């Protein structure tokens, strides 16, 4: 069982429906691939709700594909973590993901 250690959570007004454990922009939207994001939603939210966003600590994030342990990650176009290519670094993995849809720990 993977656990989190959240150091800091903030709230952001959801501009769109947001899925739990995915990256979110500071404007409360689903990010573009490679975009900088302040953190990860701690639950699913509807547009217009105040979303809890975990910004610092060991945070569970949904993977968007296979990722090695100790890899830098960025967001894909759905807010999932993928191996960093040319986007903003959003943390480093503590676990490997065998494919999309897995929860991995990311240190931010």
The mean pLDDT of 56-61, rounded to a whole number, is 98
The mean pLDDT of 71-89, rounded to a whole number, is 97
Total count of domains within the chain? 1
The mean pLDDT of 95-107, rounded to a whole number, is 98
Is pLDDT of 3 > 90? Answer: yes
Specify the pTM: 0.96
Is pLDDT of 52 > 90? Answer: yes
What pLDDT, on the 0 to 100 scale, is given for residue 32? 98
Range of the domain at 81: 5-107
Chain centroid offset of residue 67 CA: 14
Instruction: Give the mean pLDDT of the chain.
Output: 98
What pLDDT, on the 0 to 100 scale, is given for residue 71? 98
Is pLDDT of 91 > 90? Answer: yes
For 1, 23, 57, 78, 98, the CA distances from 37, given in Å and listed in that order, are 26, 6, 15, 12, 24
**Residues 71, 66, 87, 27: is their CA dihedral positive or negative?**
negative
Is pLDDT of 1 > 90? Answer: no
């Amino acid at each position: 069982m993977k656990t989190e250690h959240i150091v800091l959570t903030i709230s952001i007004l959801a501009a769109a429906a947001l899925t739990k454990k995915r990256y979110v922009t500071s404007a409360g939207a689903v990010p573009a691939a490679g975009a900088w994001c302040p953190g990860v939603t701690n639950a699913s939210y509807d547009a217009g709700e105040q979303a809890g966003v975990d910004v610092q600590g060991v945070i569970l994030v949904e993977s968007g594909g296979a990722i090695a342990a100790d890899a830098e990650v960025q967001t894909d176009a759905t807010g999932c973590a993928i191996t960093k290519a040319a986007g903003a670094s959003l943390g480093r993995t503590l676990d490997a993901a065998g494919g999309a849809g897995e929860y991995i720990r990311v240190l931010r």
